[in-house]
Amino acid sequence: MSIQRNVDLSCFNSFNISCSSSYYSEIYNVAGLENALDFARQRKLECIILGAGSNILFTCDYQGLVLHIKCLGIDIESADGSDKVLVKAAAGENWHQLVTYCLAGGIHGLENLALIPGTVGAAPIQNIGAYGVELEQFLHQVTVYDMQRQQVLTMNQDACEFAYRDSVFKREQRNQLVILDVTLCLSRSTETNTSYQALQQFLEQTMAVELAKVTPRQVFDAVCLIRRSKLPDPKQLGNAGSFFKNPIISRQRCQLLRSQFPNLPVYPTATTDEVKIPAGWLLEQAGWKGRKIGNVGVHQEQSLVLVNYGQGTGLELLELARAMQESVSALYGIDLEAEVRVI
């Protein structure tokens, strides 16, 4: 085990925020994790688990131990005689590389989740989702290390308690469980999900594809093209994707809002008495799209995305996020919840 002191984290967070961690360790396996946790226990250090750092905002130097998950490996096992395939990937694998690896091997389902930044281990934490698909639809099992019980456990889909951008890993078990690997149930069938309207339009109008004949590869290509046109590449412009969740409000409240704002877009949720409102729309109406304040700002194409123009600090971004929350609250009475983890 190697524990490093005073490590610069600017390359390990997609906002490219300059900050450091008092202690830092790369974790390649359970033995390494146990040793690092022993080290932290002896010195009474707090720990945080870091994947690709694509959903985290550091607002100060971290005084504890950063456990940087680097476990690698992908195993493909056929589930049964059907076209279902179980794919087990270690937590440190890059998510998009897993998506491309599966697609190249004729294993389908993840196409809509192409280009989501981050690691496989981070995917269940916020139940990553895009273009009509959420991770929970494919999740078979997660292997975790329980820091309190000091043992490896497996959790099935139910135990993860998934919801929109939410799971047990973000709530009750926050900072308790370290995800070691994720097993997904995918398919060799070429069935696709083109339910998301913007995806459907892009396939039909821009790619001139007939929806009934669309292939997983075409969905993958469309999702990559849409994302690249709307979302900044963190390597070029520091960001963490959507900074806020899309708020979920009651249908009743939505009706009231709509009487005041007739153009308010509304999306269905799993329950009939609640609807989802695109936070990007609320923020754009509030005048945030493309605004630059000092070294930070709001992306030109997507008001949900906060960006660091290079020299921005975590506190500047946090201040901007708070100002955005306040203006949406004042205009619509809606509280935007951060999706990004703020340290």
- Of the two residues 40 and 226, which places its CB atom closer to ligand EPU in the complex? 226
Which of 93, 111, 316, 339 is an active site residue? Answer: 339
CA 148, chain centre distance (Å)? 26
Catalytic residue among 165, 167, 187, 316: 165
Which window, 89-97, 169-177, 237-245, 307-315, contacts ligand EPU (CB under 6 A)? Answer: 237-245
What's the sign of the alpha-carbon dihedral 205, 209, 213, 218?
negative
167 binds ligand EPU (CB under 6 A): no
Considering the complex, what minimum distance in angstroms separates the CB of residue 2 from ligand EPU? 32
Q: Is 93 known to be catalytic? A: no
Residue 143 or 303: the one with the smaller Cβ distance to ligand EPU is 303
The DSSP annotation for 133-190 comes to: EEGGGTEEEEEEEETTTTEEEEEETGGG--BTTB-TTTTTTTTTEEEEEEEEEEESS-
Work out whether the CA dihedral 136, 47, 151, 118 comes out positive or negative: positive
Question: b/e per residue, 295-309, with b = 16+ CB within 10 A?
Answer: ebbbbeebbbbbbbe
Residue 41, both tokens: 């226990």
Q: How far is the CB of 38 from ligand EPU (least distance, A)?
A: 35
Phi first, then psi, for residue 21 (nearest 5°) are -120, 135
**303 binds ligand EPU per the rule CB under 6 A:** yes
Query: Does 14 contact ligand EPU by CB under 6 A?
Result: no
* Interacting positions 92-131 with ligand EPU (CB under 6 A): 130-131
98 versus 336: smaller Cβ distance to ligand EPU: 336
- For the question of residue 18 being annotated catalytic, the response is no
Q: In the chain, at which residue ranges do the beta strands (DSSP E only) sit?
A: 4-8, 20-27, 47-50, 56-57, 62-69, 74-78, 84-90, 129-130, 133-134, 139-146, 151-156, 177-187, 238-242, 248-250, 267-268, 274-276, 292-293, 296-298, 305-308, 341-342
Catalytic residue among 21, 242, 303, 316: 242
Minimum CB distance to ligand EPU, residue 281 (Å): 4
Q: Which is nearer to ligand EPU, 71 or 317 (CB)?
A: 317
Residues from 242 through 301 that contact ligand EPU (CB under 6 A): 242, 245-246, 265, 278, 280-281, 284, 289
Q: Is 339 a catalytic residue?
A: yes
Q: Which residues are catalytic?
A: 165, 242, 339
Residues lying near ligand EPU in the complex (CB under 6 A) are found at 130-131, 198, 230-231, 241-242, 245-246, 265, 278, 280-281, 284, 289, 302-304, 339
